[in-house]
Chains A and B, each alone.
Chain A
Amino acid sequence: MPAGFRLPEPSRFFIPHPEIEGSAVARQRLIVRLLAYKVSFTLLVFIALLVIFQVFTPNHTFFQRPNLFALARLAPDLGIVALGVGILMICGEFDLSIASTIPMSSFVFVKLLGTGVPLGLNLVVTLCVGVIMGLGNGLLVTRTRLPSFILTLGTMLFWKGLLYAASRMMPIGIRSWLPAGSWLENMFVGIIGGVFPIQAIWFVGFAVLLAVMLHFTKFGNWIFVTGDNETAARAMGINTNLVKIISYVGVGVLCAVVGMMQCLRIESFTANQGVGFELKAIASAVVGGTSLMGGMGSVLGIFLGTLTIQMIENGMILLGLPAFGIGAFIGAVVILFAVLNKYISRFSTR
């Protein structure tokens, strides 16, 4: 490790002051601990934005049902993918090719609808598209040992090129083959009781499942140590290549789910599905406290991070700001959090 590895002894932040009595010390420690935990900053910004948008949107439309409904229906698209991308970043790798995996699985899904295969089989095959594209990325990154940012930029362009050629960039509607109200549609884009979009349940479900996997299982620990110190992980007998490949496959599967979800929601395949997701997913993870160097992050953080980013978009539109300029604000937030993460990690203990 380079010399910069040795940081000033952080434990001195936690030395209790002798004059403060026990419970106050405990409280002080708890507060410092909470602040040291990166997610708390994301949470603070998240709550602050909720308040700001509620107060400043004309007629307080932010917290009204139509807007919340739209958020719950749309945010899971990027959210589900961001969960996978964030976990992959903790493992020390990037995946830009999600912007191609999403429309590719949507395309395969629609094409299979046209052939009339049973929906269940179609679902499995579409998920396999995600598995294969994830596997491709994983093998490429672990075999070549080159920066995954560049390699997956390559696979993104490669698959996108093939997809554009195959689809001629024409949208393909699903209604000629799939009547409304199929079980698959109810499962992915149904609206429970006519008020609650099921996508939100998928998003929360994936988040809980992945949080348990990442924070409580053995494999989750392998993801952290692979991103944190790959040499050490390998020396301890962890197959770090396999850990990375599985993480890439996970991202691919989540992309396939989102590809199908979007396709069912807009009742059509379009070639520009997922455009821009590749960087927004990384931005979500960064806002959620994920380290760009790997080894640090949390599912709760990524979850809040992606909601924050999407809420900014939504809230600023409601505020009547020019829609095309919103990127500037999101960019500023990402930079703020990247800087903040670096600063916080100097005295974080967990």
Chain B
Amino acid sequence: MADVRSVSTGKPDDGYLVRMVGIDKYFGRVCALKGVDFRVKFNEIVSLVGDNGAGKSTLIKILSGFYTADRGEIYFEGKKAHIGTPRDAKALGIETVYQEQALAPHVSIPRNVFMGREITKVLGIMDGRRMHAESMRTIERLGLQIKDTGAVVEALSGGQRQGVAIARVLYFKAKLVILDEPTIALSVKESQQVMAFMKQLRSEGISVVFITHNLFHAFQIAERFVVLARGELLADVDRKDSSVEHLSQLVISGHHEEK
């Protein structure tokens, strides 16, 4: 541990923002995760890849408090963490952005950004002007252009919607942002836009977990890849030791090449 500490970023921890150790999860008698280790460093984009049913979502739902693990431990900033509800995860600074599920389509952008955490004056009355100003400032910081700032979310493009959802976690000073398939229904241009948002998050000192099926997207932006297969950890490789071909071989075959 001592040498890990020495390469840390100077924060009082073990060098990792998050460490999930030996995670098991069963649904009834079905084993969804078995002894999975998952780590995220400070200021890092990690891509979590694997085929359908590999356990990616289950792992992330444990980290974001929707499920609890049957076995294993989670350390956040070096301290053991108990994440029993989504609220616990948010309190730690872990935010999850789900594709199309994060926003209320018929509600305005500021009200979406501040959903559940509205800025209020007295008697629960919202400070609409401040909510508008703060959300637009954050959206600009993210590099997102929205012409009609009074529009409801339904009027935005897919990429812009992701931007609004990401602006929300940026505003609330998340330390770790989990993006679940953020590019899945987007055009090429919009996907690039969303990946630019991820880079912006990292430049603000936020770590990102990027879950995707698209290995080209993953390879374009992530520094490390964690591959799951059938509920087990298959590989944890840095970008410099890997390639799109290598990753796709791992995901498709579900096991390592014979060496």
A18: chain B residues at CB < 8 Å are: none
Q: Is A350 an interface residue (CB 8 A)?
A: yes
Contact of B148 among A11, A224, A225, A234 (CB under 8 A): A11
Which chain A residue has the least Cβ–Cβ distance from B155? Answer: A10
The docked-state distance in angstroms from the alpha carbon of A349 to that of B178 is: 30
The docked-state distance in angstroms from the alpha carbon of A278 to that of B28 is: 43
Q: Which of B67-75, B93-101, B195-203, B211-219 contacts A (4 or more CB under 8 A)?
A: B93-101
B106: chain A residues at CB < 8 Å are: 224, 228, 291, 295-296, 345
Q: Which of A235-243, A313-321, A332-340 contacts B (4 or more CB under 8 A)?
A: A235-243
B102: chain A residues at CB < 8 Å are: 232, 235
The docked-state distance in angstroms from the alpha carbon of A9 to that of B105 is: 13
* In contact, B105 and A218 (Cβ under 8 angstroms): no
Contact of A233 among B100, B115, B151 (CB under 8 A): B115
Q: Which of B2-10, B123-131, B244-252 contacts A (4 or more CB under 8 A)?
A: B123-131
The docked-state distance in angstroms from the alpha carbon of A231 to that of B123 is: 27
Contact of A350 among B96, B108, B114, B118 (CB under 8 A): B108
Contact of B116 among A5, A7, A222 (CB under 8 A): A222
With A218-B124, A229-B104, A231-B101 as known contacts, state yes or no: A9 contacts B155, CB within 8 Å. yes
With A9-B157, A222-B116, A349-B151 as known contacts, state yes or no: A228 contacts B101, CB within 8 Å. no
Shortest CB–CB separation between residue A300 and chain B, in angstroms? 17
Which chain B residue has the least Cβ–Cβ distance from A347? Answer: B155
Contact of B111 among A6, A7, A221, A349 (CB under 8 A): A221
* In contact, B105 and A229 (Cβ under 8 angstroms): yes
* In contact, B124 and A225 (Cβ under 8 angstroms): no
A225: chain B residues at CB < 8 Å are: 104, 107, 111-112, 115-116
Contact of B86 among A228, A237, A296, A345 (CB under 8 A): A237
The docked-state distance in angstroms from the alpha carbon of A291 to that of B112 is: 19
A228: chain B residues at CB < 8 Å are: 104-107
* In contact, A221 and B115 (Cβ under 8 angstroms): yes
A349: chain B residues at CB < 8 Å are: 148, 150-152, 155
Shortest CB–CB separation between residue B46 and chain A, in angstroms? 21
The docked-state distance in angstroms from the alpha carbon of A11 to that of B147 is: 9
Shortest CB–CB separation between residue A229 and chain B, in angstroms? 4
> What number of B residues sit within 8 Å (CB to CB) of A?
36
Shortest CB–CB separation between residue B9 and chain A, in angstroms? 29
Q: Is A177 an interface residue (CB 8 A)?
A: no
Shortest CB–CB separation between residue A18 and chain B, in angstroms? 15
Q: Is B103 an interface residue (CB 8 A)?
A: yes
Shortest CB–CB separation between residue B153 and chain A, in angstroms? 9
The docked-state distance in angstroms from the alpha carbon of A234 to that of B104 is: 11
With A11-B155, A222-B116 as known contacts, state yes or no: A232 contacts B104, CB within 8 Å. yes
The docked-state distance in angstroms from the alpha carbon of A323 to that of B75 is: 72
Which chain B residue has the least Cβ–Cβ distance from A212? Answer: B125
B87: chain A residues at CB < 8 Å are: 237
The docked-state distance in angstroms from the alpha carbon of A229 to that of B152 is: 13
Report the interface size class on chain A.
Answer: 20 to 34
Interface string of A174-189 (1 = CB under 8 A from B): 0000000000000000
Which chain B residue has the least Cβ–Cβ distance from A216? Answer: B125
The docked-state distance in angstroms from the alpha carbon of A232 to that of B100 is: 9
Q: Is A164 an interface residue (CB 8 A)?
A: no
A14: chain B residues at CB < 8 Å are: 148
A350: chain B residues at CB < 8 Å are: 108, 150, 152
B103: chain A residues at CB < 8 Å are: 229, 232
Q: Is B140 an interface residue (CB 8 A)?
A: no
The docked-state distance in angstroms from the alpha carbon of A156 to that of B169 is: 44
Which chain A residue has the least Cβ–Cβ distance from B152? Answer: A349
Which chain A residue has the least Cβ–Cβ distance from B158? Answer: A6
Shortest CB–CB separation between residue B123 and chain A, in angstroms? 7
CB contacts under 8 Å to B, within A1-58, are 1, 5-7, 9-11, 14
The docked-state distance in angstroms from the alpha carbon of A225 to that of B116 is: 9
Q: Is A217 an interface residue (CB 8 A)?
A: yes
* In contact, A295 and B147 (Cβ under 8 angstroms): no
Q: Is B120 an interface residue (CB 8 A)?
A: yes
Q: Is A149 an interface residue (CB 8 A)?
A: no
The docked-state distance in angstroms from the alpha carbon of A296 to that of B108 is: 11
B101: chain A residues at CB < 8 Å are: 1, 229, 231-232, 235
Interface string of A147-163 (1 = CB under 8 A from B): 00000000000000000
The docked-state distance in angstroms from the alpha carbon of A321 to that of B167 is: 58
Q: A5-B154, A221-B126 are in contact. List 12 more A-B contacts (CB 8 A).
A: A5-B100, A221-B115, A224-B106, A232-B102, A232-B115, A233-B116, A234-B86, A235-B86, A235-B102, A237-B86, A350-B108, A350-B152
15 pairs from A and B in contact (CB 8 Å cutoff): A9-B155, A10-B155, A11-B148, A217-B120, A218-B124, A219-B124, A225-B115, A229-B103, A232-B104, A235-B101, A236-B115, A237-B87, A237-B90, A237-B117, A296-B106
Interface residues of B (CB under 8 A from A): 86-87, 90, 96, 98, 100-108, 111-112, 114-118, 120, 123-126, 128, 147-148, 150-152, 154-155, 157-158
Interface residues of A (CB under 8 A from B): 1, 5-7, 9-11, 14, 212, 216-219, 221-222, 224-225, 228-229, 231-238, 291, 295-296, 345, 348-350
The 9 A-B residue pairs whose C-beta atoms are closest, nearest first, are A228-B104, A236-B116, A218-B118, A1-B100, A225-B104, A217-B124, A229-B104, A238-B116, A236-B115
